[in-house]
Amino acid sequence: AKTGCNYFCINVKTTICNDCEHIEKRTLNCCTRCSSSNVDHATRVIGYLKRVSAFSKGRREEHADRHYHRKARAIA
Ligand SMILES: [Zn+2]
């Protein structure tokens, strides 16, 4: 907040085995199922702002349940 960033997320790189397609929710250098070292890593990508009014009906309902650090307030 002190640097002007009003949102952030925490990502953990997921490990995806290129040989057996096993997905592991940890960042590893080999597959826990087949022991292959032929693995890739995936991370959640989200980096844009969207108007809440442009959300779908279901998304707006889910948005109403979100908890924000602060409510909107008027600027005097
Ligand atoms: Zn594997």
Instruction: State both tokens at 52.
Output: 């809440």
How many angstroms is it from 57 CA to the middle of ligand 1?
39
Q: What is the mean pLDDT of each run of 10 residues along the chain (76 residues)?
A: 77 93 96 97 83 93 83 71
**pLDDT of res. 70:** 67
**pLDDT of res. 71:** 67
In this structure, what are the phi and psi dihedrals at residue 4, rounded to the nearest 5 degrees?
95, 0
Residue with tokens 């490990």: 15
Q: What is the DSSP letter of 13?
A: P
How many angstroms is it from 67 CA to the middle of ligand 1?
38
Question: Please, is 16 exposed, middle or buried when counting C-beta atoms within 10 Å of its C-beta (0-12, 13-18, 19+)?
Answer: middle
**pLDDT of res. 45:** 77
